[in-house]
C-alpha cells in the first residue's frame, strides 16, 4: 500500500466546496471518483481542510492510499487526464502510511482579493470581490494587524456541525496583512487553522472598518462584519514539518 500526498489547484466556482455532499459537485467527491477509477475500487481522499462553496485553491493538499504501483509522474498525468480543466494535480509524492493532510498541517495561508477599480473585467469577476466604493483603507490596514495572535474567534465563525463537540475556537494567527496593490486590496492571513467562514468574516469586518462603522481598532471587535463573497478567497499554501 502506498500513501500519496498531492497538491491540488482548483477553480471553486463550479463546486459546492471541498467536502463530499450527496448529489452535489465537490472537489473531494470528484477526486475520489477519478482516483477510484484508476485504483479500480473506492478510494478515500482526505484534504487539509474544507473550503467553502465558491472558494478557490492554489495549493490544497490531499492524500489517499493506493495499491496500484503506477509511477508518481504517470499517476499525476492519469488523474489530470480524467479531471476537468478547472482542477489540476500540481504534484504527487509518497509519504509515510499514516500521513493525514489535516492533522499534520502546521500553518495555512489564505489570500482575499478585492478590486477597487470602477469597472471590473468579466475575466476577473469570478476571482475578486468588486468593491469600487469609498473606503478608509488606512483604518482597514490597522485593523488587519489586530487579528494577529491567539484569540477566541467564535464571533467570526459560522455555525458548524462540529459545534456540538464543544471544541475550542481559539486560533493563532501568525500574520495578518492588508496591502494595497494597483487598483486592488489584497488581504493575506497565515494561521494555525481557521474556522468555518472565518477568513471571509475577517474580510467583512475589515470592510466595516473601511466604511467607518467600527470605532475601536486596537482590539478584536466583539462581532464580525457580514461574510465577504467566497469568490475572492484563495487557499494559497498549507505548511508541514520536515
Q: Please give the share of the chain, as a percent, with pLDDT higher than 70.
A: 97
**107-239: what fold?**
Alpha-Beta Plaits (3.30.70)
Q: In whole angstroms, what is the distance from residue 100 CA to residue 33 CA?
A: 20
| Neighbouring C-alpha atoms within 13 Å toward the C-beta of 18 | 21
Question: Which residue has cell 469597472?
Answer: 119
Centre a 10 Å sphere on the Cβ of residue 94 and count the other Cβ atoms it contains.
Answer: 12
* Residue 120, burial from CB neighbour count under 10 angstroms (0-12, 13-18, 19+): middle
Sign for the pseudo-dihedral over CA of 208, 211, 216, 218: positive
What average pLDDT does this structure show over 166-172? Answer: 86
Q: How far is CA 11 from CA 42, 51, 174, 213, 242, in A?
A: 25, 11, 26, 33, 29
Q: How far is CA 61 from CA 30, 49, 146, 163, 236, in A?
A: 15, 8, 29, 25, 10
The pLDDT, as a whole number, for residue 241 is 81
**pLDDT number for residue 73:** 96
Two domains, one topology: 2-95 and 107-239: yes
Q: Quick: pLDDT tens for 122-166.
A: 999 999 999 999 999 999 999 999 999 999 999 999 876 665 566
pLDDT at 181 over 80: yes
pLDDT at 135: 96
| Domain 2-95 architecture | 2-Layer Sandwich (3.30)
pLDDT of amino acid 129: 98
- Annotation says 160 is catalytic: no
Domain ranges of the chain: 2-95, 107-239
Angle separating helix axes 27-39 and 72-82, nearest 10 degrees:
120
pTM of this prediction? 0.93
- Catalytic residue, chosen from 52, 138, 152, 160, is 52
Amino acid at each position: 500500500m502506498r500513501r500519496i500526498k498531492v497538491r491540488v489547484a482548483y477553480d471553486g466556482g463550479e463546486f459546492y466546496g471541498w467536502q463530499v455532499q450527496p448529489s452535489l459537485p465537490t472537489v473531494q467527491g470528484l477526486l475520489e471518483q477519478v482516483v477510484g477509477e484508476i485504483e479500480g475500487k473506492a478510494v478515500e481522499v482526505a484534504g487539509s481542510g474544507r473550503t467553502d462553496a465558491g472558494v478557490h485553491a492554489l495549493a490544497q493538499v490531499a492524500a489517499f492510499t493506493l495499491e496500484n504501483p503506477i509511477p508518481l509522474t504517470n499517476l499525476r498525468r492519469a488523474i489530470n487526464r480524467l479531471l476537468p480543466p478547472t482542477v489540476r494535480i500540481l504534484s504527487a509524492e509518497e509519504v509515510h502510511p499514516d500521513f493525514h493532510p489535516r492533522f499534520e498541517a502546521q500553518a495555512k495561508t489564505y489570500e482575499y482579493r478585492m478590486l477597487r477599480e470602477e469597472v471590473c473585467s468579466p475575466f476577473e469577476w469570478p476571482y475578486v470581490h468588486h468593491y469600487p466604493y469609498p473606503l478608509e483603507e488606512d483604518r482597514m490596514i490597522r485593523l488587519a494587524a489586530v487579528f494577529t495572535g491567539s484569540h477566541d474567534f467564535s464571533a467570526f465563525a459560522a455555525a458548524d456541525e462540529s459545534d456540538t463537540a464543544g471544541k475550542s475556537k481559539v486560533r493563532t494567527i501568525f500574520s495578518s496583512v492588508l496591502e494595497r496593490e494597483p487598483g486592488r486590496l489584497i488581504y493575506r492571513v497565515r494561521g494555525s487553522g481557521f474556522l468555518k467562514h472565518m477568513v471571509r468574516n475577517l474580510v467583512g469586518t475589515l470592510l466595516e472598518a473601511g466604511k467607518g462603522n467600527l470605532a475601536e481598532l486596537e482590539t478584536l471587535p466583539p462581532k464580525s462584519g457580514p461574510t465577504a463573497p467566497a469568490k475572492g478567497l484563495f487557499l494559497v499554501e498549507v505548511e508541514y514539518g520536515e
